[in-house]
Amino acid sequence: MGQENRSGTAGGEGAHARAVDSAAAPDSASWKVVAANLRKDLGVRAFDHWLKPVGFGDYCGTTGTLTLHAPTHFSANWIAERYLDRLLLAWKGQCEAVRALRVVANPARETIRPQTLFQSPPADVEESVPLRTLPLPIFDERLTFDHFIAGQSNILARGAAMRMAAADKPEFSPLYLRSATGQGKTHLLHAIGHAHLRANPNANIVMMSAEKFMLEFVAAIRANDMMAMKARLRVADLLMIDDLQFIVGKGASTQDELLHTIDFVMSAGKRLVVAADRSPHMLDGIDPRLLSRLSGGLVADIETPSFELRRAILDHRRETLHRVSVPDDVVDFLARNFTRNIRELEGALNKLVAYASLTGTPLDIDLARDRLAETLRGTRSRITIDDIQKAVCAHYKLDAIEMSSKRRARVVARPRQVAMYLAKTLTPRSYPEIGRKFGGRDHSTVIHAFRTIDAMRQNDPDIDADIVRIRRALEA
């Protein structure tokens, strides 16, 4: 091998690397050359983070096995999983005497699984069980299956989540959890994480919000380090993404990367769970390929909880209270008035309990009405476009997908215009925002719908009566 000069860093040192005779045994000088080449091939960021702290270890001339020292067991395992083949190629090109490679946390610790490029690992090198390669997500201790109260509105989602968390291979993938805000989908994600770790303690689990996915994606592009992000996501045995609706419509490149990640996870037979506030077909601006993947598993809806379920949730919660007694009529009051959002329901109870505990005031129905009056006024005034679409579809007996479909038949188009009119009348949303909620329609379409229905109300009593009834249903 001819002599040439290369500059780079290795083992945490800056050095002017020199070429080493490929027939000679490897040493710290040859590691500097290998490291300098790897730094160019892998990129500065990836190299400095993972390989720069690695030190040259021992070399066995009999077996041709070279040992490298990583600073921690975690980094040793990570390097062995992702960079060992590349390290072997680099060492083979530099020193032909290297036939196998292993990475250890330090000379006194157990080795990570050894690999070799051209032959089986030497007989005297013991293989060990791979250790966890990802930091363990922090799951909320309160959000388990034991604390998830099941009812008719969420029993399918709970059962599917439990099946996904079990040790056996799931019958469906991906699992798509759909619910409005505060109905329990994030609770189920944490519960899946808890249960799957109990069933498989060495599982690699990644749980992240869609916002975090986008932030990491943008950061990886700016740092020219997509490799590290891909490796972190695709090594997961269980990948969970919450609030997916914030990814779609944000750019083709982000959706492409999510699509490739989903394809990799599914083709590897691993587990994928996605949560969003609307069904896949209702996601604004979703890539058709991504829609196909998400719809190909099980879409489990969590509907608005019934009065009985809300009552059961409050009963379960008050069993954990010790300092304050919550009367039955207060529980009934809360269950009747906080109807759409379990998070708000529990928050209202917490507010009353905290006030009674801190002030020494008995918790009774008068206190509940007084302390929650303002909250109830705000809750009743919040009508969303999703609420309007559901109410209009229920009134006209249409499938919810028609609100975003391209069909122009009057039986579909007129109710859609009614929904747009109510969206502008009952919510603070702008015309463009409303248009996006109706299949990405232009703002001029929404303006036309508003003017059409507004004029028809003056001359068509049936349309006016329909709108009055839908409004009453929404405001009830």
In angstroms, the CA 453 to CA 417 distance is: 7
Domain ranges, ordered by start, for the chain: 5-116, 145-302, 307-379, 385-475
Provide the CA 103 distance to its chain's centre, in angstroms.
Answer: 32
Which pLDDT belongs to residue 136?
53
Instruction: Give the relative orientation of helices 461-475 and 385-396 as an angle to the nearest 10 degrees.
Output: 130
The CA-to-CA distance between both ends of the chain, in Å, stands at: 83
Q: Judging by beta carbons within 10 Å of its beta carbon (0-12, 13-18, 19+), is residue 171 exposed, middle or buried? A: exposed
Which CATH superfamily does the domain covering 5-116 fall into?
A: DnaA, N-terminal domain (3.30.300.180)
Query: Considering Cα of 452, then 458, then 462, then 467, what sign does the dihedral take?
Result: positive
Helix (H) or strand (E) holding 163: helix 155-165
Residue pair 387/277 in contact (Cβ under 8 Å)? The answer is no
Concatenated DSSP letters of 72-140: SHHHHHHHHHHTHHHHHHHHHHH-TT--EEEEESSTTSPBPPPEESSSPPPTTS---PPPP-SPPP---
DSSP 175: E
> What is the per-residue pLDDT across 354-382, written as a single tens digit (0 to 9) for each?
999 899 898 999 999 999 887 777 665 57
3-state helix, strand, coil in the chain (%, to 5): 55, 10, 35
Q: What is the pLDDT of residues 322-356, one digit of tens each?
A: 778 899 999 999 998 887 788 889 999 999 999 99
Lowest-confidence pick of 64-78, 415-429, 445-459: 64-78
CA 273 – CA 177 distance, rounded (Å): 8
CA distance 28 to 34: 10
CATH architecture of 307-379: Orthogonal Bundle (1.10)
Highest mean pLDDT: which range of 370-374, 389-393, 428-432: 389-393
Q: Is the pLDDT score of 110 beyond 60?
A: no
Tell me the C-alpha distance between 265 and 248, whole Å.
Answer: 19
Structure tokens given for 353: 């309990």
Torsion of CA 199, 204, 205, 208, to 10 degrees: 180
Query: Per the CATH hierarchy, to which homologous superfamily does domain 145-302 belong?
Result: P-loop containing nucleotide triphosphate hydrolases (3.40.50.300)
- Taking the CA atoms of the chain, what radius of gyration do you get in angstroms? 30
Architecture, CATH, for domain 385-475: Orthogonal Bundle (1.10)
| Segment 221-243 mean pLDDT | 80
φ and ψ at residue 178, rounded to 5 degrees: -120, 125
- Tell me, what's the pLDDT at 472? 77
Same fold, 307-379 and 385-475: no
User: Residue 66: enclosing H or E segment and its boundaries?
Assistant: strand 65-69
Q: How far apart are CA 104 and CA 68, in angstroms?
A: 6
Instruction: Please count the other Cβ atoms lying within 10 Å of the Cβ belonging to residue 322.
Output: 7
| pLDDT band of 17, cuts 50, 70, 90 | very low
Considering only 38-47, 210-219, 305-314, 341-350, which range has the smallest mean pLDDT? 38-47
C-alpha 161 chain-centroid distance = 14
| Contact status, residue 228 vs residue 260, Cβ threshold 8 Å | no
